[in-house]
Structure 1
Amino acid sequence: MTDHSTIVVPEVIPLYPLREMVAFPYMIFPLFLKQEEIAIFEEATWHDNMVALAMLRTELTGDMLSSLHAVGTACRVTQIQRLPDGGAKVTLEGLSRIRLTGTIEDKPVTLGRVEQIREFSEKTMVSEALVSSLNALLKIALSYGRPLPDDVMKMIDYIDNPARLSDLVALYINLPLEEQQTLLETVDPLERLKKVYMHLTAEVQRLQVKGEVQAEVTKRVGKTQKEFILREQMKQIQEELGEEDARSAELTDLRRKLDAARMPDEVKKIADKELRRLERINPASPEYTVSRTYLDYLTGMPWQTGTTDNRDINQAEEVLNEDHYNLKKVKERILEYLAVRSLREKMKGPILCFVGPPGVGKTSLGKSIARALGRKFIRISLGGMRDEAEIRGHRRTYIGALPGRIIQEIYRAGSNNPVFMLDEVDKVGLDFRGDPASALLEVLDPEQNFSFTDHYLDVPFDLTNVMFITTANQLDPIPPPLRDRMEVLPLAGYTTEEKAMIADRFLIPKEIEENGLGTTPPVFEPAAVARIIGDYTREAGVRNLQRSIGSICRKVAKEVTQGKEARQTITPAVVEEFLGPRRFFNEVAAEKDRTGVVTGLAWTETGGDIIFVEATRMKGKGDLILTGSLGDVMKESARAALSFVQANGSEWDVADTSFDSANIHIHVPAGSIPKDGPSAGITMVTAIVSLITGRPARRDVAMTGEISLTGRVLAIGGVKEKVLAARRAGVKKVVLPTRNRQDMEDVPDDVRNELEFVFVDDVREAIAQALQ
């Protein structure tokens, strides 16, 4: 270390202007120079290695002396190190204060005329007290976290010169440049020590206040708040740097979606509250994902977004006719809805229930309705659904919680007025997880679903604009409260003519296209289609008919790819060649009249069908034997039939005692298929009477009806399906209860013209029609 008391500064030394710092005596510091500035410090070798450093007062002009502060510092150049970029690093040691008195222009170096300022100090009680207090304040500042190098603290402990101590402490106090220059210009060491003491006192006071506040905040702020403060600070720093992290962008995007979602006011308040909560959650926390997903659903729901209905009734009718043949009642109901919609803007969506056997077009009809209305189509299957949460969703407290299917599908569709089809509503299950059918009560009630609340969203959503359509094969399994909320539209099976028309207009073109025969389409003869319908399919719908047509098209495609000549025409012979032997026979036409065997009509989930009730007698003790997988209701009908015949046996010359020594056995073939229902009552009575009288029953006469013990014939259901089944089986005459006469309106005209219908009130009339 240089002994500053013996330093003599030359009168002329190189001059270097400082811009961002003030140089003090006793200060050792580096400077990084540009290439053109190196010459100033190389010139110092001719002036005892000394240069004059003075801070700029203003921007450097032609007159350097007027641009610099008058008081500066003479420094010794201790080292010059060249850098790869052409500049240099020079190390300097502050020696003594100087006063600039003039300049000498000597390109490229400016020399300064300087006058060395000598400092004289003597130890007094005041200076000693100030030095002692300054040392104490520095240690206090250090205890509050004000960092000072270790060597500086050691030096301060041994320095008792006020001039040197004041300059050394001034280096480590955060003072503005102007304040530092003022200290440099203060020549009296004692006065300078007082100023440093005042600045350090203010610094310590600030550190004390900051420490007290920090201590108080630390008590109140937990780990989460501390992380939040740090994240906010980081966010502020990133904003200052022009950077924005992914989380900030995500939150900004959520806020934008929230403002654009057009939510109801009460929902908007909940969403705003949840977003503020999300901003405080650590992204690494599982709660962050839960809250983020919840806000995604809230902002993505179509609260006010929907499609515009096509109100052109004629165009809608064309669409429905284009997609489906017949189904007049259903189409009429849709057109009625459109008509009301065109007259009244705000109306509640209807809840329609299509009931009918498989393959009659219930599901595809829903798609056609959506196309006719110009709405989006949603379909979910309720078959086998047993969890209530599938409808209402899970509460967000559960891990992996999601909304119910209703809200999920509307969210995906992005429309608040879709056509929503709930398929197979009659096959909803029930177990310990709740009753989905009960959860549907609110969904399918126009008086309640304006505020449908999903457990996950936990806010009401208006479903009144949604057009709900449900489908079922039968009504009985649907709970009465749910059935009461729906408008039931039955879809019966198709007649042979209707099937032929559907095949010609829809099925054949579709299968030809799907099997790659569009360039050379084969022509199906009407007889070939009739052959497929009569001999290879026996159903209420057209699903198996489509499969059979598709099978023929695939075989034609196979022949084409094998290089064989393509079939141009599909004849009945080609049908038999491709589909094999006929699968169904005309049971009635193929059989002869027999005693004790009567043709009945039954309704099944797949449409109507014919059944044969067979009765025989053997020796016994008057027992009634029932076989054929009969249900309880059908067994009771058999017992009632036998009791009626026993009570009225005299009408057919049968003695009461003839039943005591014989057992009556009633069997319904296809024993592996469960059968139930009361509509076979008159068929069983006729079979028993045919048996005991020996009169054969006509096989071309089919009957259906429930009986009472007095012989009255009661009404039954499924008339159209049963009549169509009778026609398919080749029946000529159908016996029906008189109370079902009004149901004949549903039977197509061609079927009514082809069959003979007899309506009876008493079972004796049915017996007279069936027995020879």
Structure 2
Amino acid sequence: MPTENVTLPKNVPVCPVRGSVIYPTMVQHIDASRALSIGAIEAAMAGEKVILIVSQRDKDVDDPKGSDLYDVGTACNVLRVRKNPDGTVQMLVSAVARVKATGYTRDEFLRADIAPLEAGGDKTVELQALTRELKEKFEVIVAGGKLNAESVQTINGKDDVGEMADHIAFNLDFKLEDKQALLEAANVTARIRKLLTLLDTEQEVQAVQAKIRAQVKEEIDKNQREYYLREQMKVIQKELQGGEDGEEADEAEAFRSKIEALGLKPEIKKEVDRELNRLSRMHPDAAEASVIRTYLTWITELPWNVRSEDRLEVEDAAQVLDDDHYGLDKVKDRVLEFLAVRRLRKERAERGELSAEEVNKGPILVFTGPPGVGKTSIAQSIAKALGRKYVRIALGGARDESDIRGHRRTYIGAMPGRLLQGIRSAGTKNPVILLDEVDKLGSSYQGDPSAALLEVLDPAQNQHFTDHYLGVPFDLSEVMFIATANYPEQIPAALMDRMEVIEFNSYIEQEKLEIAKRYLLPRQLTANGLKANQIAFTDAALEKLISHYTREAGVRNLEREIGTVARKVARRIATGEVKRVKITDKELERYLGQSRHNPETENKEDMVGVSTGMFYTPVGGDILFVETSIMPGKGLVLTGQLGDVMKESARAALTYAKSNAERFHIDKSRLDDSEIHVHVPAGAIPKEGPSAGGAMATSLISALAGIPARHDVAMTGEMTLTGRYLPIGGLKEKVLGARRAGIKHIIMPKANEADLRDIPLHLRSSMRFHPCETVDEVLDVALVGGLKALETPRDGSALVTPPPTPKRRAARRSASA
């Protein structure tokens, strides 16, 4: 702030400071503990809140007089004062201007008459040159590390060169006399000249300091080198003297003996020996020695040639798998096939017909399916059946390539990747490694872990897998890798190509019932301290628990609900209320409350414009209804949160109906002058998928023709504009959901007939399946009276036929049969 713009009192209180100088434009905290200073601060706060900050000539004087102070100080505005519990005062001031004390008076504190210093004129060209020189020298000082980043930023932000000079002087370690001289230099040119002189001296001091540091470092290096030589001389002298009895081998020799026992390949041993020789020549306390020591520890702890012997008895393995898991026949068959092939390979190798490498190579399996169906636990059973160690590596959310390949040793805290960590913990080079949730790998600027897995999961490459930390190849070809995924489509194609896919389907209710009785119930009884004779579940209770309290593909929630019931029973038994409890289907509400899930059920009667479709989710299948209503107006209205594919199915169904309107005897005015509203109930739930074409066409044509759709028929399949009926996926889950809803007839694409083999025989025998190749075949089954009723001319009253009564419905069904 320029001095001529500042209005100051003529007489102000004086606060003496020791060993420091404050310059204009600065905001500074000042701590006062002397009565002299505290009195001046209180007087300033009681008056115009202006105080003179001036330095003492001798900082050791405790009770200074005017003659002990410099004549030039800094007039400051007092912004804030805070009294501390110990009696001291902290004052926040804003420095305003350089002033000269023309006279001091002393009472309880010092006061001074002040007058602003006259700055005088500056020569513009000279000032510009001095300013440029000041900035260059300041950059040199900054490069020497004398100032912190915050101070440098503050100084560089000053536009006024005078302020910049003041801040440089304040932040550098100048003597008090030099700082006071800069304060007394009101003329900016003179001030910068003085400051440049001080900066020259500071540069010389920095140069001397740098020279001293270099000399000290050189001396340390020399001492270090001499230490190495002395230690080597000791070893040489010890060898010449034959050593001392009972003396243990040093660290390097201990590593050397362990490495020799590993039986490493020559190229690997060469790299390891190089690191070992570096360690032997290095000071034990050196930072690099710790890094090499950790590296050699990893090398010696990895199982380079340690294997677990495979149990190749197929019958025993089958028993282990059956004991641990119910169902999963495809998975069990694949594991037993692997064992059989491995056994035959081993027999051929014993006859010299195959090499050991060909025998030891393992397959890469990926288990895909919804959560809770046993993907992870079956891997444990496979390891148990094979007699191998089991390692699980959770890859969900991994976004760093170093999780797989490890860190390079140059980084602080570097370590091998999780694969080698798992192999070290297993202690063998042929464990079963489960790569869990491989579909949930991420990628970031740190690399793509799925790309790093390409080498790991390629049987032709993984025998030379090189971890970044080890820097030498480690053979992974004997490891049996098993991956799991909920959504296989999220696995990169190149990675998927290296794996053999085994699908895990949702459990049907009968399978869940058996799993609950054989595995879940005994496990939860043990977990909750109950004995088998203290609680009993009826089959009806478990079936209701499965259908009305859980909705999932697997059995995790089912086990939780069983555990909930077991805990409540345990409480009743522990309090002496009962001794044993039998859980029936009617008793469930007492322990679990109202049913959480009420599966859809078939319609009670045949209705015009209402067809039954089927859908699949990762937690199982179910049915849905497609409703069509015809009203005066124009256009097609679709509601029920339908996705793009389902909307296209509805448009395709309408186009098919229009193109066959004459054949189906649909009134043209009914198509042209009506608003056709297609709705799929449960409107709050988004719906999407390519298998609703048949249900859409049946509902729409039923409404347009006035012919009811059968309530006991559910359908799945996509249609084309020309009336072809195309295949779909998830047939097993859809059929199970339809069966649960009471559906007896299933319409399906003929191309899906092979999928019927996946449906249990007792379900196939209790339902009737209608494979169709065309939409006409679908309509023939789905509509009351079939295609014949649709192609028979009808009078206008048929177009508004109300829903049939049960008697009429029975007559129509017998006619269609």
- The alignment's TM-score, normalised by the length of structure 1, stands at 0.67
Is the 8 Å Cα contact of residues 307 and 417 (structure 1) preserved in structure 2? yes
Q: Secondary structure at the match of 2:522?
A: helix
**Could you list the per-position Cα deviations for residues 548-583 of structure 1 after superposition, in whole angstroms to 9, with x for gaps in the alignment?**
211111111111111111334222222232122222
Is the 8 Å Cα contact of residues 628 and 669 (structure 1) preserved in structure 2? no
C-alpha distance in 2, partners of 1:643/1:506? 53
**Could you list the per-position Cα deviations for residues 472-514 of structure 1 after superposition, in whole angstroms to 9, with x for gaps in the alignment?**
2232212222222111111112222221111111111111111
What residue is the counterpart of 1:427 in the other structure?
Answer: 440
What residue is the counterpart of 2:779 in the other structure?
Answer: 767
The structural deviation recorded for 1:313 is 1.2
User: Which residue, out of 615, 620, 623, partners 1:607?
Assistant: 620
What residue is the counterpart of 2:815 in the other structure?
Answer: none
The structural deviation recorded for 1:600 is 1.8
Q: Secondary structure at the match of 1:573?
A: coil
What residue is the counterpart of 2:225 in the other structure?
Answer: 225
Matched, 1:635 2:647: yes
User: Which residue, out of 515, 523, 542, partners 1:502?
Assistant: 515
What amino acid does structure 2 have at the position aligned with 1:420? I
What amino acid does structure 2 have at the position aligned with 1:753? S
Q: Note the 1:525-604 alignment, pairs <5 A.
A: 525-589=538-602, 593-604=606-617
C-alpha distance in 1, partners of 2:781/2:223? 93
What residue is the counterpart of 1:523 in the other structure?
Answer: 536
The structural deviation recorded for 1:592 is 5.0
Is the 8 Å Cα contact of residues 535 and 583 (structure 1) preserved in structure 2? yes
Matched, 1:473 2:473: no
**Could you list the per-position Cα deviations for residues 71-91 of structure 1 after superposition, in whole angstroms to 9, with x for gaps in the alignment?**
xxxxxxxxxxxxxxxxxxxxx
C-alpha distance in 2, partners of 1:236/1:245? 15
Is the 8 Å Cα contact of residues 552 and 618 (structure 2) preserved in structure 1? no
What amino acid does structure 2 have at the position aligned with 1:501? E
Matched, 1:331 2:332: yes
What amino acid does structure 2 have at the position aligned with 1:315? D
C-alpha distance in 1, partners of 2:282/2:609? 82
Q: Which has the higher mean CA deviation after the structures are superposed, 614-623 or 520-529?
A: 614-623
**Could you list the per-position Cα deviations for residues 87-118 of structure 1 after superposition, in whole angstroms to 9, with x for gaps in the alignment?**
xxxxxxxxxxxxxxxxxxxxxxxxxxxxxxxx
The structural deviation recorded for 1:745 is 1.0
Is the 8 Å Cα contact of residues 600 and 623 (structure 2) preserved in structure 1? no
C-alpha distance in 2, partners of 1:579/1:396? 56
**Could you list the per-position Cα deviations for residues 51-81 of structure 1 after superposition, in whole angstroms to 9, with x for gaps in the alignment?**
xxxxxxxxxxxxxxxxxxxxxxxxxxxxxxx
What residue is the counterpart of 1:399 in the other structure?
Answer: 412
The structural deviation recorded for 1:621 is 4.1
C-alpha distance in 2, partners of 1:223/1:639? 88
Is the 8 Å Cα contact of residues 636 and 678 (structure 2) preserved in structure 1? no
Change (3 A) 1:587 1:279: same
Is the 8 Å Cα contact of residues 588 and 699 (structure 1) preserved in structure 2? no
Q: Note the 1:27-66 alignment, pairs <5 A.
A: none
Q: Which has the higher mean CA deviation after the structures are superposed, 752-761 or 344-353?
A: 344-353
What residue is the counterpart of 2:703 in the other structure?
Answer: 691
Change (3 A) 1:283 1:243: farther
Matched, 1:742 2:754: yes
What residue is the counterpart of 2:467 in the other structure?
Answer: 454
What residue is the counterpart of 2:525 in the other structure?
Answer: 512
The structural deviation recorded for 1:647 is 2.2
C-alpha distance in 1, partners of 2:732/2:641? 25
Is the 8 Å Cα contact of residues 586 and 730 (structure 1) preserved in structure 2? no
What residue is the counterpart of 2:143 in the other structure?
Answer: none
Q: Secondary structure at the match of 1:650?
A: coil
Change (3 A) 1:306 1:350: same
What residue is the counterpart of 2:386 in the other structure?
Answer: 373
Change (3 A) 1:264 1:640: farther
The structural deviation recorded for 1:229 is 1.5
C-alpha distance in 2, partners of 1:616/1:245? 98
What residue is the counterpart of 1:313 in the other structure?
Answer: 314
Q: Secondary structure at the match of 1:725?
A: helix
Matched, 1:485 2:486: no
What residue is the counterpart of 2:455 in the other structure?
Answer: 442
Q: CA RMSD in A?
A: 2.8
User: Which residue, out of 398, 402, 405, partners 1:385?
Assistant: 398
C-alpha distance in 2, partners of 1:480/1:444? 13
Change (3 A) 1:402 1:695: farther
Is the 8 Å Cα contact of residues 354 and 490 (structure 1) preserved in structure 2? yes
Change (3 A) 1:223 1:689: farther
What amino acid does structure 2 have at the position aligned with 1:445? D
What amino acid does structure 2 have at the position aligned with 1:652? F
Change (3 A) 1:680 1:487: same
What amino acid does structure 2 have at the position aligned with 1:760? C
The structural deviation recorded for 1:223 is 5.3
User: Which residue, out of 705, 727, 731, partners 1:715?
Assistant: 727
The structural deviation recorded for 1:742 is 0.8
Is the 8 Å Cα contact of residues 588 and 700 (structure 1) preserved in structure 2? no
What residue is the counterpart of 2:256 in the other structure?
Answer: 255
Change (3 A) 1:428 1:656: farther
The structural deviation recorded for 1:655 is 4.2
What residue is the counterpart of 2:280 in the other structure?
Answer: 279
What amino acid does structure 2 have at the position aligned with 1:330? V
Q: Secondary structure at the match of 1:588?
A: coil
Q: Secondary structure at the match of 1:572?
A: coil
What residue is the counterpart of 1:652 in the other structure?
Answer: 664
Larger radius of gyration: 1
**Could you list the per-position Cα deviations for residues 583-610 of structure 1 after superposition, in whole angstroms to 9, with x for gaps in the alignment?**
2224124765444333222222223333
C-alpha distance in 1, partners of 2:246/2:688? 72
What amino acid does structure 2 have at the position aligned with 1:250? E
Is the 8 Å Cα contact of residues 600 and 622 (structure 2) preserved in structure 1? no
User: Which residue, out of 323, 333, 352, partners 2:365?
Assistant: 352
**Could you list the per-position Cα deviations for residues 413-435 of structure 1 after superposition, in whole angstroms to 9, with x for gaps in the alignment?**
11111111111222222333322
Q: Secondary structure at the match of 2:601?
A: helix
C-alpha distance in 1, partners of 2:450/2:581? 52
**Could you list the per-position Cα deviations for residues 273-331 of structure 1 after superposition, in whole angstroms to 9, with x for gaps in the alignment?**
11111223334333223222222222211111111111111111110000011211111
The structural deviation recorded for 1:758 is 0.9
C-alpha distance in 1, partners of 2:255/2:286? 18
The structural deviation recorded for 1:399 is 2.5
C-alpha distance in 1, partners of 2:337/2:449? 31
Change (3 A) 1:305 1:658: same
Matched, 1:728 2:728: no
What residue is the counterpart of 1:147 in the other structure?
Answer: none
**Could you list the per-position Cα deviations for residues 518-562 of structure 1 after superposition, in whole angstroms to 9, with x for gaps in the alignment?**
374422222222221222223222222211211111111111111
C-alpha distance in 2, partners of 1:243/1:640? 95
C-alpha distance in 2, partners of 1:425/1:457? 24
C-alpha distance in 2, partners of 1:369/1:377? 9
C-alpha distance in 2, partners of 1:347/1:508? 40
The runs of 5 or more residues in structure 2 that have no matched partner are 1-217, 347-358, 785-817
Is the 8 Å Cα contact of residues 640 and 686 (structure 2) preserved in structure 1? no
Matched, 1:269 2:270: yes
Q: Note the 1:1-150 alignment, pairs <5 A.
A: none
What amino acid does structure 1 have at the position aligned with 2:645? V
C-alpha distance in 1, partners of 2:751/2:227? 81
C-alpha distance in 2, partners of 1:717/1:676? 14
What amino acid does structure 1 have at the position aligned with 2:564? S
Change (3 A) 1:598 1:474: farther
Is the 8 Å Cα contact of residues 682 and 707 (structure 1) preserved in structure 2? yes
- The alignment's TM-score, normalised by the length of structure 2, stands at 0.64
Q: Secondary structure at the match of 2:696?
A: helix
C-alpha distance in 2, partners of 1:530/1:674? 29
The structural deviation recorded for 1:736 is 0.8
Is the 8 Å Cα contact of residues 613 and 692 (structure 2) preserved in structure 1? yes
Is the 8 Å Cα contact of residues 626 and 635 (structure 1) preserved in structure 2? no
Q: Which has the higher mean CA deviation after the structures are superposed, 453-462 or 409-418?
A: 453-462
What residue is the counterpart of 1:416 in the other structure?
Answer: 429
Q: Secondary structure at the match of 1:431?
A: coil
The structural deviation recorded for 1:238 is 9.4
